[in-house]
């Protein structure tokens, strides 16, 4: 099995993106699966085009996309991607979108096709707070999730895909509102490893 794992570049004034830092810590393989790690830009449509190129080149069996969800207090297994580009901040090329469909011909939403039950169990066994989430927002993380699930439906019927949102790192919240939640990189990386191990077994 081959698992393509992606993280995003920093955005929104941050100097790091914990999703990419944690993804880059994953090993090259786990029992039963080879891991291919790639970084995506926080740029509308470009991120999805680049992801599509990686899928075409690597022919993965599973795509596990990861991104930062600032303010979240837990690792989040996203269950749904929606056909919408809408955000209160611009992307890294200063483009701001509102009410734009990802694919005007596509359905309103897709469910993730991950083995989410075993993944949640494996994550909770690590002791790191992890839960399901029913909205990945409408920014770039949702964009690649929806876009990848749409691509799978149209061109790669056996491809399974889903999205993981990770909290800020402790060093990212020192300049933020007191009480803003964060999670050490070790914890984030431990859960991502548990996820790929679980995907490889399911």
Q: How far is CA 56 from the centre of its chain?
A: 19
154 Cβ contact list (under 8 Å, min separation 6): none
Q: Are 16 and 22 contacting, i.e. CB atoms less than 8 angstroms apart?
A: no
- Residue among 30, 28, 40, 36 nearest 141 (CA): 40
Query: Quick check: 172 binds ligand PCA (CB under 6 A)?
Result: no
Could you tell me how many residues of this chain bind ligand PCA (CB under 6 A)? 12
For the CA atoms of 193, 141, 83, 74, what is the dihedral angle to 10 degrees? 60
Q: Tell me if 133 contacts ligand PCA by CB under 6 A.
A: no
Convert residues 20-59 into a mask of x (bound to ligand PCA by CB under 6 A) and - (unbound): ----------------------x-----------------
Verify binding: residue 141, ligand PCA, rule CB under 6 A. yes
CB 47, min distance to ligand PCA, A: 8
Cα dihedral 124→130→135→139 (10° resolution):
-130
Considering the complex, what minimum distance in angstroms separates the CB of residue 42 from ligand PCA? 5
Please indicate whether residue 85 is annotated as part of the active site. Answer: no
d(CA 27, CA 35): 7
Q: Which stretch binds ligand PCA (CB under 6 A): 75-83, 119-127, 139-147, 175-183?
A: 139-147
**Out of 78, 85, 143, 148, which one is annotated catalytic?**
78
Active site positions, annotated: 78, 141, 165
Where along the sequence are the contacts to ligand PCA (CB under 6 A)?
Answer: 8, 11, 17, 19, 42, 67-69, 137, 139-141
């Amino acid at each position: 099995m081959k698992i393509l794992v992606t993280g995003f570049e920093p955005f929104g004034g941050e100097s790091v993106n914990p999703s990419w830092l944690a993804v880059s810590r994953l090993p090259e393989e786990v029992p039963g699966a080879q891991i291919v790690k790639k970084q995506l830009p926080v740029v509308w449509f470009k991120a999805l085009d680049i992801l599509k190129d990686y899928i075409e080149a690597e022919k993965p069996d599973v795509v596990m996309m990861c991104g930062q969800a600032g303010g979240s207090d837990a690792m989040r297994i996203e269950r749904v991607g929606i056909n919408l580009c809408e955000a209160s901040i611009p992307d890294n090329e200063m483009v701001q979108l509102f009410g734009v469909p990802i694919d005007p011909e596509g359905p309103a939403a897709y469910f993730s096709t991950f083995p989410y039950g075993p993944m949640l169990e494996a994550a909770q066994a690590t002791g790191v707070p992890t839960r399901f989430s029913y909205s990945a927002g409408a920014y770039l993380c949702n964009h690649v999730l929806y876009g990848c699930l749409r691509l799978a439906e149209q061109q790669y019927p056996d491809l399974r895909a889903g999205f993981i949102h990770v909290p800020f790192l402790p060093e990212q919240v020192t300049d933020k509102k007191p009480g803003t939640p964060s999670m050490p990189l070790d914890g984030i990386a431990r859960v991502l490893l548990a996820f790929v191990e679980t995907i490889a077994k399911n």
